[in-house]
Amino acid sequence: MTINPACIAARHVLAGMRDRLRGDALLQLAISGCIEVERSGFPEQAMYEAASHCEGCVPCQAWAGALLDELFPERVVQRQHVARYCCQSMFDTVTCRDARVRFSFERFRNEDPCWCINGEYVFANYCPWCGTRLPCQAFEADFPPPSV
Ligand SMILES: [Zn+2]
Ligand SMILES: [Zn+2]
């Protein structure tokens, strides 16, 4: 399997910018294909070209993702948590204490499994975001840690 020379060039530029990547959220989003690359956001020509290349190149986005995982190991941990939930929205609503709608798993009268919404025992059966049937237990036994 040969790699496209344009890919090699883009990856070379990005690999040389590890330090820059660490603190530059815009660049991180651009090379993961999450946002459109705009000329004005990238003063240097080389970086602009590398970022624009990633925008349209799936293998390079995957490569950039691996580079970001290396720079930010917490991304990997976070992904492992998210993977245990039916979808990202459910993960957010269960784990974010400030979420407007909060889902939590409780045992009604210490017995019946129950999904609560905002602390009320509503016995929710399905995820409102992706439609998956909710499990009869918490998605993760010990995460999020119980509030103090
Ligand atoms: Zn590429
Ligand atoms: Zn869901």
pLDDT in tens, 1-11: 688 999 999 99
| Nearest bound ligand to the CA of residue 33 | 1
Q: Are residues 91 and 57 in the same domain?
A: no
Average pLDDT over residues 28-46: 87
Q: Is residue 76 part of a domain?
A: no
Q: Are residues 13 and 59 in the same domain?
A: yes
| Nearest bound ligand to the CA of residue 130 | 2
Which segment of 19-28, 43-52, 136-145 scores lowest on mean pLDDT?
136-145
Tens-place pLDDT, residues 52-83 = 999 889 999 999 999 999 999 999 999 999 99
Q: Are residues 95 and 138 in the same domain?
A: yes
Q: 75 CA to middle of ligand 1, Å?
A: 22
Has residue 42 got a pLDDT over 90? no
| Nearest bound ligand to the CA of residue 94 | 2
Q: 103 CA to middle of ligand 2, Å?
A: 11
Q: Are residues 61 and 92 in the same domain?
A: no
From 71, 105, 129, the end of a domain falls on 71
Supply the range of the domain harboring residue 89: 83-143
Q: Which strand (E) or helix (H) includes residue 23?
A: helix 18-23
What's the pTM value of the predicted model, to 2 decimals?
0.71
Task: Please state, in angstroms and rounded to a whole number, the distance separating the CA atoms of residues 4 and 124.
Answer: 50
Look at the chain and report how many structural domains it folds into: 2
Q: Is residue 148 part of a domain?
A: no
CB-facing half-sphere around the CA of 140: CA atoms within 13 A: 17
Residue 146: its pLDDT value, please?
A: 59
